[in-house]
Structure 1
Amino acid sequence: MPKRLLVVESPGKVKKLSQILGSDWIVRASCGHIRELSNTGEDSLGFVIDDGSVKCNYVPRDQRSKETIQQLKAVSKQVDEVVLATDPDREGETIAWHLKEVLGLREPKRVIYSEITASAVRSAIANPRKLDSNLVGAGLCRDCLDKLVGYKGSPLVWALNNGAKSVGRVQSATLHLICQREREIVTFVPQDYWSVWVDYAEGFRAFYKGTANSPTDAPEPETETHDDAASNNTQAPESKRVLSEAEAIRLVEEARQHPHQVVHVEGKTVYRQPPPPFTTSTLQQAAGSKLKLAPDKTMVLAQKLYEAGLITYMRTDSVILSPEFCAAARKWLEEHDPQNVPQQVAKHRSAKTAQEAHEAIRPTDVFRPSVQLRQELPPEEFDLYVMIWKRAIASQCRAAQLGKTQIITQSNSLLWQARGQVVEFYGYARYWNNLSKDSVLPVVQQGQGLTLENANFEKKQTQPPPRYSEPKLVQLMERKGIGRPSTYAPTVATLKKRGYVQLTKGNLQPTTLGLEVDDFLQKALPDLLEAEFTAKMESALDAIAEGKQGWQQYLTTWNKNYFVPALAKAKTVFISPSTTKSSVAERKYDTSKTRCPECNNFLAKIPSSKVKKKYFLKCTSGCANIVLFWSDFSKSWQPPRTQETKSENHSPTPAKLSSYPCPVCKKPLEEYNYTKDGQNKTMLRCSAASRQDKKHKDVAFFSTAKGWWSPKFGELNPDGK
């Protein structure tokens, strides 16, 4: 009989771990969190703050958790030892503590591993440790903080009576970033400018740089930064901005009137170091920009790869790789790409806020054939695995070598500049190509005369700052310290679920509801929206996890000195119509092609997640109650129907029997006359059917040019078929 029980979080790991450990072990899963703070006590918080201490009342999360706890209790009585192997992070440590509490374990063994491979798991089992009370304290503190902010803060926005559901410690700060950007877009005033250029017969284009006697611009940075959230679109080159068309015309005329010659040629080699391996944040960013995956979808796929033993643990903010993996990667390069083996691997540093000393996300076996995996994995999982594999290998390669060229030409006092770049050695970019495309310039000599082929300008306009894509938002959350690896994806998903934001052309746009909530919270709880404020709370949790601060002391002090006074002040904020409803006239919306029936101005498109088209039309020129909704039936914009209209449209006139039999029961169909959208219409329904009769639910024939037609039964023949 097995003598040891291993408890993990995810059921997906059970089969793999059972194969590794053999028949001497029973492997069971907690299915994630098994307990949560109860909804008892003051404001249903489930905990009591009393004289510097915090007393928590935890209960099973749901019926499934109750059953899981009973099953684990039963199995634990059949074995000699229980070993806790929940995930290797703060959240996993907290779940392990909950398991210890419900199973009545005194000093359980805690094991951690960052990959589900035989060597890693057996090594972890051979080197157990005790539960880390500091990590547990940080987890409990986060539980209480999140519930305190959510349960005390959310009633404030309920009073808005606009459908707002919640306030959150991380959620509200993230929403504020999105709303801030939207306000910048709305208030942005575009400015015209002109880009001036010359084309030479020698085969290149140069852009206006300034004049020979004007101050020199600051040199541009020689190295590009690794931006995993960036799309692959490269910005077209342009000249120093010319602010009037008259000046652009003057520059073109001067360029055409005077000879051109090369005054400076510069060529140099630039080395670009490989990017670090993936953390949770950069994985979500890259998967969003390259594979078009939402953060929560990325984490679901990564979880499956981890449970299958293909990658290391996917919640981490460390860029460290194990010596064993580095050696394996070097061996792979020596066998398959020897020119890419570096003398010394580039060193990468984790962010200062990195809380876990785990490995970065990497494949568990760099030699595993991808041909075999393609057959075993669904396409999305395979694509994500390949991306992780390429990034990990790239981090162990040589730097890329770029040949950069700059040519400066002169005509009279005007200077013109051309830039070129050629990849001389791809290095890491063979596996992770984030280099700009080659731009080849011809070989020219200083003092060489040039033949002007054309000179011209292009009118351009400054653009508002773009809305954040999901990868960009995750990147911003990480940079500003809002949340931690385990919370990035759930936070973005929650904002969408609450109806506070929506995806518009692949970017996050706040809804009217989201803007109203943010407007109100700026008045009621302004600190909660500031990234710096939220980041300080995360730093405090990190300090608790490191044993530098007691969690109960921090929570009681934060609540007493900040949150209680802040809530008291927030409740004094007067909720007026101007507070609760964003003024449509003050905001800039996209304009429709439909005109207002009263003032004849074009109606504005008002975003709304509650209607099929995701927006409705409203007059922003002062006409009261001019609102139109799209009708799929009439294929036109219609005003909302009043109760009288609805009653009129849905009240059929007395029916008369037709000569057509019902296709279900063969009883005669009845002919009904009714009014819809101002038109008189006729339909056939079964005379014997009641409204509760499910068999007849779809028996409805509508009049057409050819006779009668039903969405389910098609064309109605005289014999009823």
Structure 2
Amino acid sequence: MSKKILIVESPTKAKAIASYVGKDYKVLSSSGHIRDLSTKGEGGFGLDIKNRFHPTYVVIPSKQKIVNKLIEETKGKEVILASDPDREGEAIAWHLADVLNLDINEKNRVTFTEITKNAVLKELDNLKSIDMMLVDSQEVRRALDRIIGFRLSNVLQRKKIGQAAGRVQSVALKLIVDLEKEIKAFVPEEYYEIKLTADLFTANYKQTKKSLITKEEANTIKKEISFPLKVTDINSKVRTSQSKLAYTTSTLLQDANNYLGFNSANTMRIAQKLFEGIEIKGQIIGLITYPRPDSNRLEPSFINQTKKYIEKNYGKNYVGVYRHKDSQSTQGAHEAIRPTDINRRPEDVERFLKPTEFRLYKLIYNTTLESLMAPAQIDVKTITITSNNHDFILEGKKTIFPGYQIVGSADKNVEIPELKIDDLIHKGIIILEQKFTQPKTRYNEASLIKEMESLGIGRPSTYANTMSALKNYGYTNLEKRRFVPTNDGILVSDSLDNFFNTLINTDFTSRMEKQLDEIADGKIEGYSLLESFYPPFEKLVNNALDNMPKAEPKYIGENCPKCNKPLVLKRSQYGEFIGCSGFPDCKFTRYIEKPNTKSFKNYRKKG
């Protein structure tokens, strides 16, 4: 009979860890969160507003059988809680402790940042208590998201403007809409680039002023240039190219989107699978570390292992210097996303992985390996060719030491002819190329996440969900993998901006994230944050309910077959549909596209 019960979040992780810990443990899974805020009480928040926002939690209906099993299995046993090492994981541990009547002051908490036998057994010797400050931070975050999400969504629904809004997603939508307005308002400006084309090369004109060259200026310059042109300067210097740092969640999502074409949800799903474990030769092994860090720090033991690997496989001169850079918003002591063993090369495990898993693992493996390798050294030769004080620049590049680029692909060499000072260029053509300034590029998932991170909006655990929400509610479409706001999305963003501009903006959201981090650090008390936020927020909500214009119905030119009232185009989170304008008296609906999840009848508001 098992002496100890170890509870993890996922069944896959449970299976892997069970194979490591032996008969002294029985490993069970909670399958994520087991409880959530009730939808009863004022606003359906599940919070007692008048009693310090005291939360009321209920078991998630789909988790009742799991909870019953956990209660039965843990009776009279020592229980160790091993949910993920983040705010949500700490909250899951606390909810489990509460339901199972465990002492939160006891050392019954363990966290695994990698799922390998050595790492798991090591951490089981270092039990700790539940971090209640981290739990408090998660509770306040959940309360804020519930209050803001429910209230703003209710306003939008009552005004027939949109289905949902949220603390982070609505700010992300505003970024997309504001950029789209900037793009629409952009007026292209004509300018000219000047090139010198000779037999063996093409050189670019060196501008002496910051402003763009007009057509008139370009023609004047062309007239002033005469052959032969003379080589007036040759400069050579060695440029170093540093590798990227090891991955944070944000940078992994960006590169997976840019290089692999993976959206954020798919990247996180695959990364979670690689973290929880892949069966390799009969043993389940976690291939990467915890996939939701905001730090690119690496453990000294891994650094040493990797440097030895580099020296053995590439040579001592390829060993680089460890570098890391954490942002001001970095929280916790998590490592970067890295392979659990640098000796487990992508090609060695490819046959055990699905193609998408292999591609993501290879990206993580190569980036981590490169981050600890020496920089590339590139010889850059710049030749200046002159006529009547007008200079053209010819640049060549040659890699003299590939460094980290030996792992992936090195910069391409750019060959240029061998020229000497005072050499003359007797023949050539001066080409004037008409150009037009371009508007900013729309966000794709990678650039939007990068912008959100730079503004301090959201956290590693929220990026993927935010990207999904922007698409699922019909507020944006993807064109060539870039976000284009729909008319509904623009209407929602503008309406929120008109009535909640003190709330739905980057400064407020970033400041709120920092305050939530301060709660986790014990610097401020969670209740005080909710107390200062709620009263002015309710004033904004009441003002919007009284004064926000209701959107005009989108009539489709047909009458309802049941009550003969006009039919209108509506939208739920499951897609567009046709409904009766007489709702709620008449509940006739007709679908115009297949819902992307459950049927519309099963739709319910979520906080």
Which TM-score applies when normalising by structure 1? 0.73
2:565 alignment partner in structure 1: none
1:242 alignment partner in structure 2: 213
> d(CA) in 1 for partners of 2:420 and 2:540?
69
1:656 alignment partner in structure 2: none
2:545 alignment partner in structure 1: 571
1:125 alignment partner in structure 2: 124
Letter aligned with residue 123 of structure 2? A
Letter aligned with residue 134 of structure 1? M
Give 1:539's match in structure 2, choosing from 510, 514, 517: 514
Percent identity, aligned pairs only, is 36
Give 2:79's match in structure 1, choosing from 82, 97, 103: 82
1:384 alignment partner in structure 2: 360
Distance apart, 1:206 and its partner CA: 1.5
> d(CA) in 1 for partners of 2:413 and 2:424?
25
User: SS of the residue aligned with 1:23?
Assistant: helix
Give 1:73's match in structure 2, choosing from 49, 71, 74: 71
2:31 alignment partner in structure 1: 31
Distance apart, 1:369 and its partner CA: 4.4
1:346-381 deviations in Å (ceiling 9; x for gaps): 321111101121110011111124344111111100
User: SS of the residue aligned with 2:428?
Assistant: strand
1:251 alignment partner in structure 2: 221
User: SS of the residue aligned with 2:514?
Assistant: helix
> d(CA) in 2 for partners of 1:437 and 1:341?
19
1:139 alignment partner in structure 2: 138
> d(CA) in 2 for partners of 1:114 and 1:125?
12
Q: Is the 8 A contact 2:275 2:291 kept in 1?
A: yes
Letter aligned with residue 13 of structure 1? K
Alignment of 1:210-221 (within 5 A): 210=207
1:100 alignment partner in structure 2: 97
Q: Is the 8 A contact 2:159 2:548 kept in 1?
A: no
1:622 alignment partner in structure 2: none
> d(CA) in 1 for partners of 2:103 and 2:91?
16
Q: Is the 8 A contact 1:193 1:459 kept in 2?
A: yes
Q: Does 1:265 align with 2:226?
A: no
Distance apart, 1:527 and its partner CA: 2.3
Letter aligned with residue 3 of structure 2? K
Q: Does 1:197 align with 2:168?
A: no
Letter aligned with residue 181 of structure 2? R
2:271 alignment partner in structure 1: 302
Give 2:392's match in structure 1, choosing from 409, 412, 416: 416
Distance apart, 1:460 and its partner CA: 1.3
User: SS of the residue aligned with 1:472?
Assistant: helix
Distance apart, 1:21 and its partner CA: 0.5
Distance apart, 1:249 and its partner CA: 3.0
1:696 alignment partner in structure 2: none
Letter aligned with residue 26 of structure 2? I
> d(CA) in 1 for partners of 2:36 and 2:513?
21
Distance apart, 1:23 and its partner CA: 1.5
> d(CA) in 2 for partners of 1:494 and 1:396?
37
> d(CA) in 2 for partners of 1:276 and 1:540?
28
Distance 1:609 1:495, change over 3 A: farther
Distance apart, 1:466 and its partner CA: 1.1
> d(CA) in 2 for partners of 1:510 and 1:531?
18
Q: Does 1:368 align with 2:344?
A: yes
Distance apart, 1:259 and its partner CA: 2.7
Q: Is the 8 A contact 2:346 2:361 kept in 1?
A: no
Q: Is the 8 A contact 2:145 2:166 kept in 1?
A: yes
User: SS of the residue aligned with 1:503?
Assistant: strand
1:187 alignment partner in structure 2: 185
1:158 alignment partner in structure 2: 157
Which TM-score applies when normalising by structure 2? 0.87
Distance 1:571 1:420, change over 3 A: farther
Distance 1:260 1:369, change over 3 A: closer
> d(CA) in 2 for partners of 1:89 and 1:431?
33
Q: Is the 8 A contact 1:38 1:58 kept in 2?
A: yes
Q: Is the 8 A contact 1:193 1:242 kept in 2?
A: yes
User: SS of the residue aligned with 2:502?
Assistant: helix
Q: Is the 8 A contact 2:238 2:377 kept in 1?
A: yes
Bigger helix fraction: 2
Q: Is the 8 A contact 2:345 2:365 kept in 1?
A: no
Q: Does 1:438 align with 2:413?
A: yes
1:648-668 deviations in Å (ceiling 9; x for gaps): xxxxxxxxxxxxxxxxxxxxx
> d(CA) in 2 for partners of 1:381 and 1:498?
29
Q: Is the 8 A contact 1:73 1:103 kept in 2?
A: yes
Q: Is the 8 A contact 1:154 1:165 kept in 2?
A: yes
Alignment of 1:333-344 (within 5 A): 333-342=310-319
Q: Does 1:425 align with 2:425?
A: no
Distance apart, 1:119 and its partner CA: 1.1
> d(CA) in 1 for partners of 2:361 and 2:227?
58
> d(CA) in 2 for partners of 1:160 and 1:541?
31
> d(CA) in 2 for partners of 1:472 and 1:367?
33
- Higher alpha-carbon deviation: 312-321 or 100-109: 100-109
User: SS of the residue aligned with 1:319?
Assistant: coil
1:19 alignment partner in structure 2: 19
Structure 2 unaligned blocks of 5 or more = 278-285, 555-568, 577-607
Distance apart, 1:335 and its partner CA: 1.5
> d(CA) in 1 for partners of 2:234 and 2:58?
73
Q: Does 1:325 align with 2:282?
A: no
Return the index of the structure with the highest Cα Rg.
1
> d(CA) in 1 for partners of 2:446 and 2:570?
22
Q: Does 1:286 align with 2:255?
A: yes
Distance 1:187 1:436, change over 3 A: farther
Q: Does 1:472 align with 2:471?
A: no
User: SS of the residue aligned with 2:503?
Assistant: helix
Q: Is the 8 A contact 1:196 1:457 kept in 2?
A: yes
> d(CA) in 2 for partners of 1:471 and 1:363?
22
Letter aligned with residue 341 of structure 1? Y
User: SS of the residue aligned with 1:539?
Assistant: helix
User: SS of the residue aligned with 1:65?
Assistant: helix
Alignment of 1:541-556 (within 5 A): 541-556=516-531
> d(CA) in 2 for partners of 1:97 and 1:432?
44
Letter aligned with residue 124 of structure 2? I
Distance apart, 1:180 and its partner CA: 0.9
Total equivalences in the alignment = 549
Distance apart, 1:205 and its partner CA: 1.4
User: SS of the residue aligned with 2:53?
Assistant: strand
Q: Is the 8 A contact 1:524 1:571 kept in 2?
A: no
Q: Is the 8 A contact 2:495 2:548 kept in 1?
A: no
Distance apart, 1:154 and its partner CA: 1.3
Give 1:517's match in structure 2, choosing from 492, 496, 501: 492
- Higher alpha-carbon deviation: 403-412 or 516-525: 403-412
Q: Is the 8 A contact 2:160 2:550 kept in 1?
A: no
Distance 1:369 1:194, change over 3 A: closer
Distance 1:467 1:159, change over 3 A: same
2:557 alignment partner in structure 1: none
Q: Does 1:111 align with 2:80?
A: no
Distance apart, 1:101 and its partner CA: 0.7
Distance apart, 1:17 and its partner CA: 0.4
> d(CA) in 2 for partners of 1:252 and 1:191?
21
Distance apart, 1:196 and its partner CA: 1.1
User: SS of the residue aligned with 1:555?
Assistant: helix
Letter aligned with residue 241 of structure 2? R
> d(CA) in 1 for partners of 2:346 and 2:198?
49
Distance 1:281 1:581, change over 3 A: farther
> d(CA) in 2 for partners of 1:261 and 1:486?
59
1:41 alignment partner in structure 2: 41
Distance apart, 1:609 and its partner CA: 11
Q: Is the 8 A contact 1:391 1:432 kept in 2?
A: no
